[in-house]
Amino acid sequence: MLTLQILAVLGFVVSLYAYGVERKAKQNAAYKAICDIKESMSCTKAFTSPYGKILGVSNAVGGLFFYALLFVLTLFGFRQYLFYLTLASFFGTMYLAYVSYVKMRNFCVICHIIYLINLLLLFFATRVFLAV
């Protein structure tokens, strides 16, 4: 469970950074984040695009709640919920990766860090779930 907790904290921190970039970019059109390397490698482009929100809620804010929830679930040992939530996040990750690569033709470094965290969360949550 410790590995899941560490990954949840990392996901929370990266989501917090993404939220900060998104807010600064909306406040200042000239803002350039460290993760904006070039036009086709821009996290700001991903965060501020129409795909940066689901049902009107920023993906970064959703990530903050998701990773906080995962952390709390690890504290109480809800293994089954951990597995199903990380499985759902994996499918969300695949969708957002598709959107980024195919529809937007953009490589987002921060998004890839989140993708990796979500993949690792699924891997370790599966191990914990099957160990029951």
Tokens of 76: 């109480």
Contact 86, 70 (CB under 8 A): yes
| Averaged confidence pLDDT in the chain | 95
Tokens of 101: 């690569």
Q: Which domains does the chain have, with CATH numbers?
A: 2-130 (1.20.1440.130)
**DSSP state string for 32-101:** --TT--BTTB-HHHHHTSGGGEETTEEHHHHHHHHHHHHHHHHHHT-HHHHHHHHHHHHHHHHHHHHIII
Q: State pLDDT tens for residues 85-108.
A: 999 999 999 999 999 999 999 999
* For the chain, percent of residues with pLDDT exceeding 70: 99
Q: State pLDDT tens for residues 13-35.
A: 999 999 999 999 999 988 999 99
Q: In the prediction, which pLDDT does 132 show?
A: 64
**Predicted structure pTM score:** 0.94
**DSSP state string for 95-129:** HHHHIIIIIS----HHHHHHHHHHHHHHHHHHHHH
Q: In the prediction, which pLDDT does 29 show?
A: 87
